[in-house]
């Protein structure tokens, strides 16, 4: 069933990928960033003091694999799962829009290098459209932080939180019986 759904949705995703100017999803993100840059001075001051600019608590890293997409083919059921887990790690911590674009390109490259270049293009289209930080989804950019969180560089305190949670995650993988 999931593969049928992928093939039914692929023309729509390919439209976004090939027919819209730039990468799908970029236009919305650029317009939001442009509006923030050109905002009136009072609004800019309000944004600087808003809770969105203060460091908040990062949730521990989790990955749902390839989210709504299969983790592999019927014959190789987890062939690109590690690509998706690495991509989830980047999405969990978030950052600026360039970092998101790089994470998405790394996902495409990883899946293509696993021998599935057409699937890689389809996945890239899906994450560019569905991974925006402006929707309250469980797979949005910066999903480890409370919603809403737009594109922005991590502060030093936030980087420390990422490091701490990363160390805990990798320790769990090395010693799954020790909590």
Query: Full-prediction pTM beyond 0.85?
Result: no
Give the integer Cα–Cα distance in Å for 102 and 162. Answer: 18
The ranges assigned to domains in the chain are 2-174
pLDDT in tens, 77-122: 999 999 999 999 999 999 999 999 999 999 999 999 999 999 999 9
Q: Is the pLDDT of residue 147 over 60?
A: yes
User: Does residue 141 contact residue 32 with C-beta atoms inside 8 Å?
Assistant: no
Of residues 166, 133, 163, 132, the one with CA closest to residue 148: 133
């Amino acid at each position: 069933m999931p593969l049928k759904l992928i093939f039914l949705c692929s023309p729509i995703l390919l439209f976004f990928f090939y027919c819209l100017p730039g990468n799908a999803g970029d236009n919305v993100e650029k317009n939001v960033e442009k509006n923030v840059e050109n905002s009136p001075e009072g609004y800019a001051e309000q944004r600087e003091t808003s809770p969105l600019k203060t460091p908040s608590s990062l949730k521990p890293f989790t990955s749902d694999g390839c989210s709504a997409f299969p983790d592999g083919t019927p014959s190789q059921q987890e062939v690109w799962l590690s690509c998706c887990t690495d991509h989830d790690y980047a999405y969990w911590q978030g950052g600026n829009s360039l970092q998101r674009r790089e994470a998405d390109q790394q996902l495409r490259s990883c899946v293509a290098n696993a021998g599935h270049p057409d699937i890689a293009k389809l996945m890239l289209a899906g994450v560019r459209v569905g991974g925006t930080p402006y929707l309250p989804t469980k797979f949005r950019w910066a999903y480890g932080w409370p919603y809403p969180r737009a594109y922005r560089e991590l502060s030093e305190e936030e980087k420390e939180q990422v490091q701490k949670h990363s160390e805990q995650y990798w320790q769990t993988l090395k010693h799954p019986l020790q909590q």
